[in-house]
Structure 1
Amino acid sequence: MGPEKRTRAIMPKACHNCRMRKVRCNRVIPCSNCVSSGLGCVPGVRSAVQLGQVTNSSGEDEHRCLRERLLALEQAVEQLSRQGVSDHTQRAISHDSEGTMSTPDPPECRTSLSEGDSSFGRQILLASKVATLTGVSQMQPVQRELANLLVMAEDQAAPQTLGHLYTPEPHPETVRPVIKLPPSNFALQLLRSLRGKPTSSLANIQKESVFFLFYGFHDRAQIETLCQRVYFPIESLSSSEATLFNGILCSILREGSFFQSSELKEEELSNMRVLCEANFQAGLETFEVLAIPTHENAMVLSLAMAHAQSEAKLLFQHSLTSAAARHCLALGYHRESRLSMLPPLEAERARRLFWHIYTSDKSLCLRLGLPSTIPDYDIDARSCSISRNPSQAPWDLVVVKFAELSRIQGQIYESLFSAAAQTLTVSQRHSTVSRLSVCLAQWYQEWTQIDSKDAYNKDLFTSTFGPVEVLYFSVLTLLHRGETSSNSADHISQACLDGAYQALRAHLAYHRNISTLGVNALYPYAVCIFYYTPFTPFVVTFLHCVANSDEDDIKLLNDALVALEQVSPKFEHCQRQLKLCKGLYKIAETFIKCQHEMGGKKELEPATSRLLPLQSPVSEHRSQLTVHGHSVDLSNAFLEDLEILDVDQMSFLLDNQIGS
């Protein structure tokens, strides 16, 4: 509105005289009433022209002031926004000209991780210090092989970078793609492939994704709901949901054989898998996933746990399992009273997730010699339900049985290998071993009764759970090994030795059956044998071999080693166990050879108990062990390795059976 219009639109008030006399004023100066009455007309306010001019000037000043303030505010907001984006970009990502991003290299940080008494590394250490070997200083070849074994153990247990232990080691030349969701068309097509086409073919009916069979996910509806939430959000999408979605797609895409007959191209599947893995890894590294106990975060950790298990990264799996277990405890998934408050479908999903995490927690407890996170005394949640579908039921039974086996494994560690177990008497250990061996035998009997003839993916079921026999006898051997705290071969019970023989023979028999089936069949065997089966049978057989110069033992060790050598080149994670087993075999072979060269095994002197402190760091006054007048230097060849394993302060009775 212009100044003239504003001037005409403003009407002055009645003059002062008219207002006092309360008569109608024609609102001009002078007004008609004042003229007719001969009075001086005094306006009530400023004239219309004057008021219009003042109003016009004041409005322009006010508008100008508002514009200046608004402009200053916009500039300040823009400056703060640019500064915040710049800081975030410098901290998190760096963009290149092609629209990709890369993460900065993490700082170089090394750490030493310890393993408990039931771990393979610990068993190797104790086996290398058996008195039968450490006292024969005149057998130089044996001493050289012992030194080589300790060097290999030292290389494997040396401090490593956190990036190498827990996340894929970054490569500066590798550029990570921009984090974004996969195309919706691809995700929908992938879900259609999982659902499958209606057909009467029995082969297709009995084919199902392992993701829904063995892992902590209940059904497809769970994923389809998440897909709708991701691609058609009504509310803002959380980072946990985006990470979970990428992790689910990544896990499904790992089953390459499942999509061979689908319309999805192999190249597209490969590209999307790389993208989903990068997105999942980026989301997993956020603080919220590890710190905030939500169902989504627990599911993210369970997926990462499964990925680490398939890649045989035990320490990474243990860290993820511990975090996921704490989430489950915080959410109350271990208590039936909490689960009963949830809707039935949600309760079953939470129950399945909990037992999946529980199985990993307890099995790693014995394998690594570390305490579990979830205490058995606080669990009253029911087991997962068994489907009425004869094809699904065997897989559900496997989930239940593995949880039961894991509980027994956790009890073995707590009762025989924990710090509290070191104070047990011999009779208490015998009683514990007897009780747990009965539980273990009953479990194995029930396992063998699982009918899998109608199971989904029958071939995969057989190849995945075929090595369970080896696992059973290995756990049984470790159980009987804990019957005594002595490291003497003479204190190995017959039950322990029989279990070791059966474990190695089962290992050889299963290897013969699958050695011609290709890499896909060898993969679950290699992961189970090398990383998730206690290697105590090999150690026990080795100890019996050197104590008795048994030719049958050395042949059994050689056969087992040959089988391991055929598998290990195909899988990088098998190299550590292979090197250590090869070191044990060379020691046994060299020892027996030296015995023959010396004219047979000499009469051993009566066994005497000698206390060998296993403390770290090793002090100088404990670095010499004197036996029959001979001083054996332990500082460099033997006890030095204890610093690497970071053994807690404890002592073991090492029976000193040394020949002349």
Structure 2
Amino acid sequence: MASRMSQLPTLETDEPSPVADEVRNLRAAIHHPTATATSKETSLDAKQLRTPQLSASVVITLLQILKKTPRLLFVMHPINGWDYVESLAQRVYFPVEPISTGELTVFYGILYNGIREILEQDQTSHIPTPQFKHDQDVCYKAFRAGVQAHELYAVPNYANTLALTIAILDVQFQGNLEAQWHLTSAAARHCLTLGYHRESTMQHLPPEEAKSCRRLFWHVYQSSQSMVLPLGKAPLIHEYDVDLQLPASDHDPSLAPWNMALNLFTKFFTLQANVYKSLYSPFAASLPPESRLASVEELSTTLREWYRTWNALDYTRAQHSKVFHVLFLPTKVAYYSLLALIYRASTTSSSIEDVSEECFTAAREGLEAHLSLYPPMSAMGAGALQLYAVWVFTRSTFTPYIITFVHCISHADRDDLETLRKVADTLDEIAAATNSCERQVGVCRALHRTAQAFIDSNQTQHRQDQMTPCHDSVVHLPLQNYNQEPFDWDLLQSNMNDWVIDGMMTAAVNLGSDLNANGPHYSEHQ
């Protein structure tokens, strides 16, 4: 997420101002700390983890239920089939040799996700729901204990990396970027140490093992790339250091769309990382204007081509096609958000008047995409809405809302204000669906109220014939710079109508990065 707003000085005034009140509210929303979720349960220790947490009969019954139908478990996680799961179960309950902490963590992570899938997807079962939920809680507690074990982070091997990757997907769905970065850092180190990023490594492995390791690496790589823009950090695995081929297309037509989605979103998040590298990194800040424009053209063209390919993907025959539809429905919002961010970098000028029309258009279309997608996502229930909230507020850039806000106050544009209002009206339900987006939602509301107060104030001054000359109302919108000190919102003074070009400060805030970098810690599942 990559938008910043500059400090805009004003004339001194002691009169009360609705605009000043809303600016203070906006400042409070940005600085409002994110609550950290804490577990009230006592965690298992390593010795307790090695004691089977469920009876063998319960596990056998669960595996029998899970094996009846194709499971999301195997398309969402880099696990190739039941043989591996059953081998883990045998080693837990009929051990010939000690089982590692990583393997135990994988085992309980698979059971936890499998039970969740039964609860969410299966229509009938002879096991009462309360029993399922109890078993799910037991498995999750054991899974968390394993994820917190030192061994997973210290020893690079397949099982430890897979356990971390299952945990990565779990926190991704929570929108917890801090935990995702922590887990991905360890998983990425393991992949590089094991040589999973090199095709030569796969050539020396048995075919099925190579297939598993290949999928595992690309899940970790995708997680690494996906956090570059939201957090303003270089990727943990660099594209230039990887020669591993993407997974081959699956011959099963019901699995091929899922495989293609993994490959396409690997490319999408790699493109996101390249946007940071070419346009917003410290390295990019020193590039001449012609290089910046060339990068904007190349990246925007690549993104448009990617989106055309994505829209051509036919998933009607995919396993769990309805889930596929819901899972990737917010792609349109992510596309326009990234496109707006790319076009924002076409100029280093901090004046809103120099921001390209393509940037404004992409920002507007991004918000309109949200408004069109929100009703169907909301109708699908709390789970779909939580997924959507994470997509919109932590996996997409904050650019469209900020661009539209600044365009609104710089042009006193009531159409923009109406768009901001409509978006703000959708946020109550989103905020209730997940606490990971609380600050982002609060900032959006505060920005809308600030724009409303500004335009109302501007109209009052029009009636009083006290308008500021046109050249004095230019609003500056600096480029993203992750290395600048956060903007001191206390310096914002009371009357936005008095913002003038001569007093512009270069300090600015990266709203998206600031909000995301202080997310909650790894917490209990909801």
TM value normalised by structure 2: 0.86
Separation in 1, partners of 2:476, 2:324: 49
Aligned to 1:447: 310
| Residues 576-587 of structure 1: pairs in structure 2 closer than 5 A | 576-587=439-450
Relative to structure 1, the CA distance from residue 631 to residue 556 in structure 2 (aligned partners, 3 Å threshold; closer, same or farther) is closer
Relative to structure 1, the CA distance from residue 641 to residue 528 in structure 2 (aligned partners, 3 Å threshold; closer, same or farther) is closer
Query: Does residue 1:188 correspond to 2:84, yes or no?
Result: no
| Residues 117-156 of structure 1: pairs in structure 2 closer than 5 A | 118-119=1-2, 123=3, 126-127=4-5, 129=6, 131=8, 134-135=9-10, 140-156=17-33
CA deviation after TM superposition for structure 1 residue 631, in Å: 8.6
Residues 403-445 of structure 1 show CA distances to partners (whole Å, capped at 9, x for unaligned) of 1101101101111111111112222111101001111111111
Aligned to 1:58: none
Separation in 2, partners of 1:428, 1:617: 27
Query: Does residue 1:540 correspond to 2:425, yes or no?
Result: no
Query: Does residue 1:229 correspond to 2:98, yes or no?
Result: no
Aligned to 2:192: 329
Separation in 2, partners of 1:530, 1:220: 35
CA deviation after TM superposition for structure 1 residue 303, in Å: 0.9
Contact 2:350-2:477 at 8 Å conserved across structures? no
Aligned to 1:372: 235
Moved more, 293-302 or 186-195: 186-195
Residue 355 of structure 1 aligns to which amino acid in structure 2? Answer: W
2:420 to 550, 557, 569: 557
Segments of structure 1 that go 5 or more residues without pairing to the other structure are 1-117, 197-206, 647-660
Relative to structure 1, the CA distance from residue 571 to residue 618 in structure 2 (aligned partners, 3 Å threshold; closer, same or farther) is closer
Contact 1:395-1:455 at 8 Å conserved across structures? yes
Question: Which one scores higher on RCO, CA 8 angstroms, separation ≥ 6?
Answer: 2
Contact 2:249-2:256 at 8 Å conserved across structures? yes
Residues 570-629 of structure 1 show CA distances to partners (whole Å, capped at 9, x for unaligned) of 32223211100011111111111111000175323377999999855999xx999x9879
Contact 1:308-1:317 at 8 Å conserved across structures? yes
Query: Does residue 1:284 correspond to 2:147, yes or no?
Result: yes
Contact 2:164-2:184 at 8 Å conserved across structures? yes
Contact 2:156-2:190 at 8 Å conserved across structures? yes
Relative to structure 1, the CA distance from residue 348 to residue 468 in structure 2 (aligned partners, 3 Å threshold; closer, same or farther) is same
| Residues 399-410 of structure 1: pairs in structure 2 closer than 5 A | 399-410=262-273
Instruction: Specify the SS of the correspondent of 1:416.
Output: helix
Which segments of structure 1 move beyond 6 Å, counting only runs of 4 or more? 606-614, 626-632, 638-642
CA deviation after TM superposition for structure 1 residue 280, in Å: 1.4
2:470 to 584, 600, 604: 604
CA deviation after TM superposition for structure 1 residue 393, in Å: 1.0
2:38 to 147, 150, 169: 169
Instruction: Specify the SS of the correspondent of 1:213.
Output: helix
Separation in 2, partners of 1:502, 1:519: 25
Instruction: Give the structure with higher Rg (CA).
Output: 1
1:574 to 426, 433, 437: 437
Segments of structure 2 that go 5 or more residues without pairing to the other structure are 516-526
1:493 to 356, 359, 362: 356
TM value normalised by structure 1: 0.69
| Residues 32-431 of structure 1: pairs in structure 2 closer than 5 A | 118-119=1-2, 123=3, 126-127=4-5, 129=6, 131=8, 134-135=9-10, 140-156=17-33, 164=36, 169-171=38-40, 174-176=41-43, 179=49, 180-181=51-52, 182-196=54-68, 208-255=70-117, 256-431=119-294
Separation in 1, partners of 2:399, 2:109: 35
Residue 27 of structure 2 aligns to which amino acid in structure 1? Answer: L
Separation in 1, partners of 2:74, 2:290: 46
Aligned length: 493
Separation in 2, partners of 1:269, 1:229: 23
Residue 382 of structure 2 aligns to which amino acid in structure 1? Answer: V
Separation in 2, partners of 1:395, 1:334: 21
Contact 2:271-2:299 at 8 Å conserved across structures? yes
Aligned to 2:521: none
Residue 404 of structure 2 aligns to which amino acid in structure 1? Answer: T
2:372 to 509, 534, 556: 509
Aligned to 2:520: none
Separation in 2, partners of 1:137, 1:477: 35
Contact 2:486-2:510 at 8 Å conserved across structures? no
| Residues 595-634 of structure 1: pairs in structure 2 closer than 5 A | 595-599=458-462, 602-605=468-471, 616=485
Instruction: Specify the SS of the correspondent of 1:598.
Output: helix
Relative to structure 1, the CA distance from residue 454 to residue 589 in structure 2 (aligned partners, 3 Å threshold; closer, same or farther) is same
Aligned to 1:456: 319
CA deviation after TM superposition for structure 1 residue 477, in Å: 1.0
CA deviation after TM superposition for structure 1 residue 466, in Å: 0.9
CA deviation after TM superposition for structure 1 residue 146, in Å: 1.7
